[in-house]
Amino acid sequence: MDLRRLRYFVAVAEARSVGKAAERLRMAQPPLSVQIRKLEAEVGAPLFRRGTRGMDLTEAGQALLVRAGEALALAADGIEAARAVAAGSRGRISVGYMFVLANAMLPRLIPELRRSIPGVDLDFAELSASTREARLLDRSVTVALCMPAIHHPEIQVARIGAQPFMLAMPNRSPLARLSAVPMARLQGRPLIALPPPEQDPASSAVAALLRRHQIVMPIASRVETVHSAMSLVLAGEGLAILPACAKLGAPQGIVFRPLREASDSIDIAVCWRRDSQSPLIRTFLKCAEKVVARL
């Protein structure tokens, strides 16, 4: 059962003549005649009534014609769809992002993506750092928005921006009256910390910052998300050192202040599998860079 045969069959059925169909198919009449007879042999029944003025479908031929036409269309659509997916004009891109970046990036990123790649399904999932890495590796997400980047031999990283660390505190805190907080003022104050470095690399950047300035902050609580951290800060449980963009999702009553002697920042990066050959990743990267530039 060959698709070429079916194509020839459809052509002959539509032209109601072998000769006319051969002309339209840019081939000679005899080989076309042969192919039709081979198809009939394969089916085991005549598909055409041969008249003196051309060919006419039998009932069996009519039954075949419908399916053959659909099969041809499906096959053509299939390779077209594959091409479109390969070219990035169709398909799906699944994005794993981290919680802090949701408020800062998604409201601008999603419309930007819809404009750039209108035929593509978007799929966003808020994932922890370790889950993002795992899902990138098993390909269940296409790209990850990370802060900081994932380091892994299979994973490619593009740095698209950085966020300075800022101190988050309740607005009734005495430190809130300063326009920038000297590092020394943090000494001994309770810290609301994120998961330890082995689970969340962002924490190691904070730890490094404090270590460099020889500041010790007792850990009042460890929380999973920046959102929880800010809630505890608001409750007066302690201070948090967070990327500046966390401000965008902060509740009323939290203020952010820069740290005077520290110019430390944390990278925002797009990460994907090295062997992902989807052209959508390039486009995604462009969009993400554009959004971060206006942060």
Contact set with a copy of itself (CB under 8 A)? 1-4, 6, 42-47, 49, 58-64, 66-68, 70-72, 74-79, 81-87, 90-92, 275, 277-278
Q: Report yes or no: 130 and 83 within 8 Å, Cβ to Cβ.
A: no
177 binds DNA (CB under 7 A): no
Cβ-in-10-Å burial (0-12, 13-18, 19+) of 229 comes to buried
- Segments of 196-275 assigned E as strands: 219-222, 240-243, 254-258, 265-273
115 binds DNA (CB under 7 A): no
Closer residue to a copy of itself in complex, CB, 51/111: 51
Closer residue to a copy of itself in complex, CB, 15/72: 72
Q: What is the DSSP letter of 144?
A: E
Q: Which of 27, 71, 72, 162 binds DNA (CB under 7 A)?
A: 27
26 binds DNA (CB under 7 A): yes
Distance, in Å, from the CA atom of 112 to the CA atom of 114, rounded to the nearest integer, reads 6
In the complex, the smallest distance separating the C-beta of residue 161 from a copy of itself, rounded to whole angstroms, is 28
Distance, in Å, from the CA atom of 59 to the CA atom of 172, rounded to the nearest integer, reads 87
Q: Look at residues 151, 144, 149 and name the one whose alpha carbon lies nearest to residue 159.
A: 149
Helix (H, G, I), strand (E, B) or coil at 218: coil
139 binds DNA (CB under 7 A): no
Q: Look at residue 196 and give the partner it binds from a copy of itself, DNA, none, a contact being a CB closer than 5 to 8 Å depending on partner kind.
A: none
Give me 240's structure tokens: 């948090």
Give me 77's structure tokens: 């659509």
Q: Which window, 14-22, 94-102, 166-174, 243-251, contacts DNA (CB under 7 A)? A: 14-22
Closer residue to DNA in complex, CB, 27/176: 27
In the complex, the smallest distance separating the C-beta of residue 54 from DNA, rounded to whole angstroms, is 4
Per rule CB under 7 A, count of chain residues that contact DNA: 25
Cα dihedral 179, 185, 188, 193 sign: positive
Residues that bind DNA (CB under 7 A): 2, 4-5, 17-20, 26-38, 50, 52-55
